[in-house]
Amino acid sequence: MLNDDDLQRVMNELLKAMEKGLNRKTAPQAAVKMLPSFVRAVPNGTEIGNFLALDLGGTNFRVLLIKLNKRNADMAGTIFRVPESIMRGTGEGLFDHIAECMARFMEEKDIKQTGKLPLGFTFSFPCRQEGLTCAKLINWTKGFSASNVEDKDVVTLLREACQRRKDIDIDVVAVLNDTVGTLMACAFKENTCQIGVIVGTGSNACYMEKIANCDKIKDLHLEEDGMPDE
């Protein structure tokens, strides 16, 4: 049983590890990686429109059509399996399978001919994020080992798979992991939400941080671009 002193020590050690992960000099050795998501703000309640969502994080993945009208969200989705042979095959085969399932979903929902829809891509594997629409896989987890994906931008791989089909047109506007997606979904209903946590096949957490505290991305000068600073 942990007493208050034990909990305080855990808090202090976690804070040290987080600060180490935020610093560019110490981040490579940090146990807590503090990977930036490049998501700069939570929803503010004015969001309107139709969006696609793709959620890949295990042996099943989901494709959703989401209709936002300010604080109301209407979602319709389909779950697809990723066969083990595809999980452990080639990266091209994996993303071709995803694109095929997306095409089937869009055909079913009669949205293939409605023009390019914005798509949010939840990719719940360790990634080095280089922008809101660029994430390079660090290493596979959860039983995946598809070749020629590690150190590649997964958004580019998805776009290329869709282009090979020539029958679906998407606009990937964000790539994120499931913790960030959880935070954004909760904040859509309650925008004071600042933390997202996933405890499952993989466990992870995210929170909103001041850009000024993120030494590892200071070279990008994000504080000067007019966007929110946390």
pTM of full prediction above 0.95: no
In whole angstroms, give the CA distance from residue 71 to residue 190. Answer: 9
Catalytic residue among 55, 96, 153, 178: 178
Catalytic residue among 62, 88, 104, 128: 62
Structure confidence at residue 44 (pLDDT): 84
Structure confidence at residue 63 (pLDDT): 97
Three-state SS across the chain? CCCHHHHHHHHHHHHHHHHHHHCCCCHHHCCCCCCCCCCCCCCCCCCEEEEEEEEECCCEEEEEEEEEECCEEEEEEEEEECCHHHHCCEHHHHHHHHHHHHHHHHHHCCCCCCCCEEEEEEECCCEEEEECCEEEECCCCCCCCCECCCCCEHHHHHHHHHHHHCCCCEEEEEEECHHHHHHHHHHHHCCCCCEEEEECCCEEEEECCCHHHCHHHHHHCHHHCCCCCC
In whole angstroms, give the CA distance from residue 127 to residue 68. Answer: 28
Structure confidence at residue 225 (pLDDT): 55
User: Each residue of 180-229: pLDDT tens digit?
Assistant: 999 998 998 888 999 999 998 778 899 999 888 988 888 877 765 555 55
Structure confidence at residue 122 (pLDDT): 94
Q: Which residues of the chain fall short of a pLDDT of 70? A: 223-230
Active site (annotated) includes residue 178: yes
Reference 77, options 49, 106, 117; nearest CA is 106
Structure confidence at residue 223 (pLDDT): 64
Structure confidence at residue 87 (pLDDT): 97
**All structural domains of the chain with their residue ranges:** 32-230
Catalytic residue among 37, 55, 124, 159: 124
Active site (annotated) includes residue 124: yes
Q: Which residues are CB-neighbours of 109 under 8 A, at least 6 positions away?
A: 65, 76
- Number of residues in the chain: 230
Active site (annotated) includes residue 128: no
Structure confidence at residue 220 (pLDDT): 78
Range 32-230: architecture per CATH? 2-Layer Sandwich (3.30)
CB atoms within 10 A of CB 160: 13
In whole angstroms, give the CA distance from residue 181 to residue 185. Answer: 6
